[in-house]
Amino acid sequence: MPYSAEHREQTRKQIVHNARRLFNRQGFNGVSIDDVMAAAGLTRGGFYKYFESKSKLYAEAVLLILSEGPVTNDNGGIACDSPDFASYVIRTYLSRQHFEDIDAGCPLVALPGDVARSDTLVKQAFETVFKAMTGIFEGCLTDGHRGDSDRALAIASLCIGAMVVARSLEDRALADKLRDTAVKFAHELGNWK
Amino acid sequence: MPYSAEHREQTRKQIVHNARRLFNRQGFNGVSIDDVMAAAGLTRGGFYKYFESKSKLYAEAVLLILSEGPVTNDNGGIACDSPDFASYVIRTYLSRQHFEDIDAGCPLVALPGDVARSDTLVKQAFETVFKAMTGIFEGCLTDGHRGDSDRALAIASLCIGAMVVARSLEDRALADKLRDTAVKFAHELGNWK
DNA sequence: TGTACATCAGTGAACGCGCGTTCACTGATGTAC
DNA sequence: TGTACATCAGTGAACGCGCGTTCACTGATGTAC
């Protein structure tokens, strides 16, 4: 039994990690298996020792935001069902840093068009991430809005929509305005300060 | 001078028209020039008699929603600065028909990821369409919100975000709920009934 | 009215390239003895 | 402790295919005479 299971796991992680970065930046069709493997320090041929297909890798890369995203691992020290937490998430999501950091950014922003044209597995991965996001917002609703899952859907849609559009505009000033505006109205919808 | 100018214009229109349909469904990389020309009843070789590059065609196809979209040509007989018109646009935009009619749908929904990775000209086309949409909403704001361009940006982001995500989900019921919810909150944000 | 012709819309082969996937192989590894 | 070996991670050539773009060409057209 040569090579440890740990070695295999490590290599696999390297591949998915780099795939996520590349897919986020270039989209599904813009990234080749060569690209992914080279970024992981390997060559083309070994890919199918780890993944059944490019599509399966894609689905896994989309899910990576949940385990390696900025929000899940680091709550900024705030209780995860408080208005402050919602505010923190919104401001982080719509920050200039997230706008620019496409590599490690949210796949909901970088890949929706791609995903709409992909297979079931990929859409399910996308859905899982989206539900995680709306779940966060729903958990932070208080007062008369507690448990208002529709409201959480709307807030998430607003945040995602604003970022998606912002990244597709040529006018940087308008993109900035769009982010700021979305922060403001997301707070308004959630009744957060 | 063989062939009329009209003939040339007609052929050009055929190409862009089919390109729009195909791009909306398959994205930039998913459509080949062969595909576009074949759909227009022509062959590959003639393409460059009409367009400088695939990218230029893409930009033009994105803009087509403005002249051939459902909203501009047919206002449903409602004054275009009234709350009723805003309501009509929102309901049309988030309708099941628009959800399913990807071919003739809004490029803001079908292509944002693609566009973010495209060149300046394409992003400018995207921006033009987006501004047209926010302009409609802004024109319909009344009462205390008149001229509140930020509010119009937020409403547009919400509508676009909801549709973009809805198309990328596997769960059809959740997609439907997302559309309905966006209709509700877009009305709320615009203070429209 | 009829015909020769310049124009240019449209053709289809070709160029150089990259893709996803397969496969026979090499060689590093930890284990058994 | 040292060595032979089974395992399998990783290699790189190959397959069959499609891409964006170029180009020499064909042939339908309306015009000039």
pLDDT, tens digit, for every residue of A90-143?
999 999 999 999 999 999 999 999 999 999 999 999 999 999 999 999 999 998
Does strand C come within 7 Å of the CB of B3?
yes
**What is the spatial distance between Cα B45 and Cα B57, in angstroms, rounded to a whole number?**
15
The pair of three-digit structure tokens given for residue A71, joined into one six-digit string: 């929000």
> Residues 8..47 of A with a Cβ closer than 8 Å to B: which?
25-27, 29-30
Residue B53 has pLDDT above 70, yes or no: yes
**What is the spatial distance between Cα A34 and Cα A32, in angstroms, rounded to a whole number?**
5
Higher pLDDT pick, A72 / B67: B67
- How does residue B82 score in pLDDT terms, banded at 50, 70 and 90? very high
The pair of three-digit structure tokens given for residue B25, joined into one six-digit string: 């469904």
| Strand D: positions under 7 A of a protein C-beta atom | 6-14, 18-24, 27-31
By percentage, how much of chain A surpasses pLDDT 70? 97
- How does residue A40 score in pLDDT terms, banded at 50, 70 and 90? very high
- How does residue A76 score in pLDDT terms, banded at 50, 70 and 90? low
Residue A152 has pLDDT above 90, yes or no: yes
Q: Where are the alpha helices (DSSP H) in B69-148?
A: 70-73, 83-93, 96-100, 107-110, 112-116, 120-140
Residue B187 has pLDDT above 90, yes or no: yes
Helix (H, G, I), strand (E, B) or coil at A110: helix
CB–CB of A165/B111 below 8 Å?
no
The pair of three-digit structure tokens given for residue B143, joined into one six-digit string: 């009462």
**What is the spatial distance between Cα B88 and Cα B78, in angstroms, rounded to a whole number?**
9
Residue A121, pLDDT score: 97
Please name the residues in contact with B93: beta carbons below 8 A apart, sequence gap of 6 or more. B71, B106, B159, B163
CB–CB of B112/A112 below 8 Å?
yes
Residue A2, pLDDT score: 78
Residue B109 has pLDDT above 80, yes or no: yes
Average pLDDT over residues B41-66: 97
| Closest alpha carbon to B138 in B153, B125, B127, B120 | B153
Residue B193 has pLDDT above 90, yes or no: no
By percentage, how much of chain A surpasses pLDDT 90? 89
**What is the spatial distance between Cα B99 and Cα B95, in angstroms, rounded to a whole number?**
6
Q: Which nucleotide is nearest to B42 (CA to C1')?
A: C10
**Rounded to an integer, what is the distance from CA A174 to the centroid of its chain?**
23
CB contacts, 8 Å: A159 with chain B? 161
> Residues 173..192 of B with a Cβ closer than 8 Å to A: which?
174, 177-178, 181-182, 184-185, 189
Mutation site for A-interface testing, chosen from B153, B174, B176 by largest number of A Cβ within 10 Å = B153
Does strand D come within 7 Å of the CB of B44?
yes
Average pLDDT over residues A60-68: 95
Residue A9, pLDDT score: 96
Residue B69, pLDDT score: 82
Does strand D come within 7 Å of the CB of A13?
no
Contact B189 A184 (CB under 8 A): no
**What is the spatial distance between Cα A23 and Cα A17, in angstroms, rounded to a whole number?**
10
User: Could you identify the residue whose CA is nearest to the C1' atom of nucleotide D30?
Assistant: B2
> Residues 116..175 of A with a Cβ closer than 8 Å to B: which?
116-117, 120, 123-124, 126-127, 130, 150-151, 153-154, 156-162, 164-165, 167-171, 174
Residue B117, pLDDT score: 96
Which string of b and e fits B140-177 if b means at least 16 CB within 10 Å?
A: bbeeebeebebbbbbbbbbbbbbbbbbbbbbeeebbeb
- How does residue B143 score in pLDDT terms, banded at 50, 70 and 90? confident
> Residues 39..98 of A with a Cβ closer than 8 Å to B: which?
none
Give chain A's mean pLDDT: 95
The pair of three-digit structure tokens given for residue A80, joined into one six-digit string: 């995860």
Instruction: Give, in degrees to the nearest 5, the angle at Cα B179 between A147 and A159.
Output: 70
| Closest alpha carbon to B128 in B50, B58, B64, B55 | B64
pLDDT tens digit string along B96-106? Answer: 999 999 999 99
Does the CA dihedral A126-A128-A132-A138 come out positive or negative?
positive
**What is the spatial distance between Cα A42 and Cα B156, in angstroms, rounded to a whole number?**
44
Average pLDDT over residues A4-15: 95
Give backbone dihedrals phi and psi of A170, rounded to 5 degrees, phi first. -90, -30
- How does residue B1 score in pLDDT terms, banded at 50, 70 and 90? low
Single-letter residue type at A11: T
- How does residue A68 score in pLDDT terms, banded at 50, 70 and 90? confident
Residue A72, pLDDT score: 63
Q: Which residues from the 144-173 window of protein chain A have CB within 7 angstroms of nucleic acid chain C?
A: none
Closest chain B C-alpha to A152 CA, distance in angstroms: 10
Cα atoms in the 13 Å half-sphere on the side-chain side of B9: 3
Does strand C come within 7 Å of the CB of B4?
no
Residue A164 has pLDDT above 70, yes or no: yes
pTM for the model stands at: 0.96
